[in-house]
């Protein structure tokens, strides 16, 4: 998949997730929907894939969105996905910093930093 198409696929996924959580006009909410950071990487074959962390600004995302449903949604539209809950805040920091140090390509949601998601650990 071309990187631009992959980016659009990811944005579509986030938009559908936000719609399920906050309704059709989720983008008008003060928090701007879910917050995310995403690193991209290419397989040896040249195929792109993403590594991302997502959080809901006011609630535990795991409590309001069933991961298996969203894995199934992604599979139906784009192929295999793995969605896991991180074990700790340190795991989140290590996960994101791994992609910053690899090649520095990490994208952030427009609302990144607007709200601090609730602590889960």
Q: Is residue 56 part of a domain?
A: yes
pTM given for the model = 0.81
User: In degrees, to the nearest 5, what angle opens at C-alpha 105 toward C-alphas 101 and 110?
Assistant: 125
pLDDT reported for residue 83: 87
Residue numbers of the domain that contains 24: 3-108
Label the pairing between strands 35-42 and 106-108.
antiparallel
Tokens standing for residue 20:
């399920």
Q: Is residue 118 part of a domain?
A: no
As a whole number of angstroms, the distance between CA 45 and CA 58 comes to 39
> Binning pLDDT at 50, 70 and 90, where does residue 30 land?
confident
Q: Is residue 62 part of a domain?
A: yes
Closest CA to 17 of 33, 40, 39: 33
pLDDT single digits (tens) 56-79? 888 888 888 888 899 999 999 988
As a whole number of angstroms, the distance between CA 91 and CA 47 comes to 26
Q: Is residue 88 part of a domain?
A: yes
Q: Is residue 114 part of a domain?
A: no
Number of domains in the chain: 1
Give 52 or 97, the one with higher predicted confidence.
52
């Amino acid at each position: 998949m071309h990187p631009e198409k992959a980016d659009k696929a990811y944005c579509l996924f986030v938009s559908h997730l936000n719609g399920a959580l906050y309704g059709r006009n989720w983008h008008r909410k003060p928090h701007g929907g879910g917050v995310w950071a995403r690193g991209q990487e290419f397989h040896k074959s040249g195929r792109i894939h993403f590594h991302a962390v997502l959080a809901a600004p006011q609630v535990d995302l795991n409590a309001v969105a069933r991961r298996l449903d969203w894995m199934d949604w992604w599979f139906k539209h784009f192929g295999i996905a793995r969605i896991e809950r991180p074990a700790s805040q340190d795991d989140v920091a290590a996960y994101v910093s791994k992609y910053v140090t690899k090649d520095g390509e990490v994208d952030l949601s427009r609302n990144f930093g607007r709200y601090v998601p609730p602590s889960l650990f």
